[in-house]
Amino acid sequence: MLVYSVRRLLQSIPILVASTFVIFLMVASSVDPMTPYLTKKPPLSAAQLDSLRVKFGLTKPLLQRYWDWLTGLVLHGTFGSSTQTNFHIGQQLGYAMEVTLRLVIGTILIALILAVIVGVTTAVRQYSKFDYATTAIGFLFLSLPTFWFAVLLKEWAIQINESTGTHFFDTLWESSPNPPSGFLPQLGDGAQHLILPVVTLALLSYAAWSRFQRASMLEVLGSDYMRLARAKGLSPFRVLFRHGLRNALIPLTTQVALDTAALLSGAVITETIYSWRGMGLFFINSIEMADPDSVMAWLLVTAVFVVVMNLIADLLYAVLDPRIRLA
C-alpha cells in the first residue's frame, strides 16, 4: 500500500509541473498588469510606464519570468507579489480557501451520503415506486442550472424569513458581520450560514452520483460472486454491504474526483449568489485588478486541489480493491 501510494504521488508531479506552465502561459497572455495604468487620466509618461514595466518584470523574456515564478514558488513558497497595495496573496487566498473548502467539503459529504443511500436502495429495489420517484427527482436536479437553483432557494428563504417574521435562514455572507465571541457560538454561526449554499450544491451534485451508484450497484448485484456469497449462506446484510457495496463504491470514487473541478465551478457561482468572501470573489477581484500573480496563485491552488482529490480517489480505490494495491 505504501509503495503504491508513493508511486501514485510521484506520478502526479509531472501533471502539476505541466499545469504550472499552462497556468503561466494562460495568465501571461490574458492578464496584463499594465491595464489600469494605460488608461489613467492624465496619461502617464512613457518613462513612468517603462519603469512600471520593469517593476512588474514585463521586460524579461517569458521563460525567465516563468522560471522566476516557479523557483519563488518551490524554493521560497511565495506566490509572487501582488500589484494591489497591501495585499498579501498567501494570506488572502488562505482565508478564501478556508471559506470555500467549508462549502465544498460539506457538499461532498452530504451529496455522497445521499447518493450512496439512494443509489443502493434503488438498485436493490429496482423498478419499485421509490426507484421511479427518485429517478424522476434525480433527473430534475440533473437538469437544474446551478445559478438558477441557487437564486431560487435564496429567494424562497427570504420569503420564508419575511412571512414568519423571523431570521430563520441566513442568505448573506459566510458568517455574520459581527460574529459572536467564543468558539462554539462562532461555529454555530458559520454552520447556520452554511446550510443554504450546501443544500443548493449538494442536491445538484447528488443527482448524478446517485444515478452512477445505482448503475454500478446493479452491475455488482448481477455478478457471480454475489450469487456465490448468497449461496454460501452469508447474511443478506453482509452480502449486500461487504461484498456488494464495497465493490460498487469504486466507480463512484473515481467519478467524484473527476467532478471536483466542476464542483469548484459550482461553488464559485453559489458563493457569488450568497455573497461569500471565498475563492470566487478572490478570483473575480484579482481579474478586475489585473493582478497576474494572484490569478496564477488561484489557478495553481485549484489545480493542486483537483490533483489531490484524484490522488485520494486512487488511494481509496486501492483500499477498496486489494488487486490494485498488490499489483
Partner 1 sequence: MPSRVNTSAGDTLGGTATPPSRGSREFTVKARSQRQIVFRRFRQHKAAMASLVVFVLVVLFAFIGPLLWSTSPSFMSNDIFTAPDGPHPFGTDSNGIDLLSAVMKGTQSSLIIAVVVSVVSTSFGAIYGAVSGFYGGWTDTIMMRIADLFLTFPIIAIAIMLDNRFQAEASSLWLLIAVLTALFWPGAARVIRAQVLSLKEKEFIEAARALGARDRRIIFRHLLPNTLGSIIVISTLTVAGTILTETALSFLGFGVQFPNTSLGLLVTTNQTAIEGGHPWLFYIPGVFIILIALTINFVGDGLRDAFDPQQTRVRA
Of the residues 139, 168, 173, 241, which one makes contact with partner 1 according to CB under 8 A:
139
Question: Near partner 1 by CB under 8 A, which window of 44-52, 68-76, 87-95, 256-264?
Answer: 256-264
User: Quick count: other Cβ atoms within 10 Å of Cβ 147?
Assistant: 14
Helices 2-30 and 292-320 pack at an angle, to 10 degrees, of 160
Angle at 258 between CA 257 and CA 259, to 5 degrees: 90
Q: Please, which contacts does 60-67 make with residues 24 or more away whose CB atoms are closer than 8 Å?
A: 62/28, 65/24, 65/28, 66/21, 66/24, 66/28
- Give the residue from 279, 254, 255 showing the smallest Cα distance to 265: 279
DSSP 201-240: HHHHHHHHHHHHHHHHHHHHHTSHHHHHHHHTT--HHHII
Task: Determine, following the binding rule CB under 8 A, whether residue 30 of this chain makes contact with partner 1.
Answer: yes
By rule CB under 8 A, what string of x and - marks binding of each residue 145-184 to partner 1?
A: xxxx--xx--x--xx-------------------------
Of the residues 298, 313, 314, 317, which one makes contact with partner 1 according to CB under 8 A:
298
Of the residues 115, 244, 245, 315, which one makes contact with partner 1 according to CB under 8 A:
244
Whose Cβ is closer to partner 1: residue 1's or residue 284's?
A: 284
Of the residues 49, 52, 191, 258, which one makes contact with partner 1 according to CB under 8 A:
258
- CA dihedral for 259, 18, 22, 96, sign (positive or negative): positive
Of the residues 14, 42, 61, 233, which one makes contact with partner 1 according to CB under 8 A:
14
Whose Cβ is closer to partner 1: residue 44's or residue 221's?
A: 221
Of the residues 45, 86, 143, 164, which one makes contact with partner 1 according to CB under 8 A:
143
Of the residues 28, 34, 281, 307, which one makes contact with partner 1 according to CB under 8 A:
307
Site for partner 1 in 98-127 (CB under 8 A): 123-124, 126-127
Per-residue buried b or exposed e for 39-48, using 16+ beta carbons within 10 Å of the residue's own CB: eeeeebeeee
Cell numbers given for 105: 467539503
DSSP 104-126: HHHHHHHHHHHHHHHHHHHHHTT
Tell me, by CB under 8 A, how many residues bind partner 1: 55
Cell numbers given for 277: 468572501
Distance CA 114, CA 244 (A): 18
Task: Determine, following the binding rule CB under 8 A, whether residue 303 of this chain makes contact with partner 1.
Answer: yes
Residues that bind partner 1 (CB under 8 A): 14-15, 18-19, 22-23, 26-27, 29-31, 123-124, 126-127, 139-140, 142-148, 151-152, 155, 158-159, 218-219, 221-222, 240, 244, 258, 261-262, 264-266, 268-269, 272, 283-284, 287-288, 295, 298-299, 302-303, 306-307
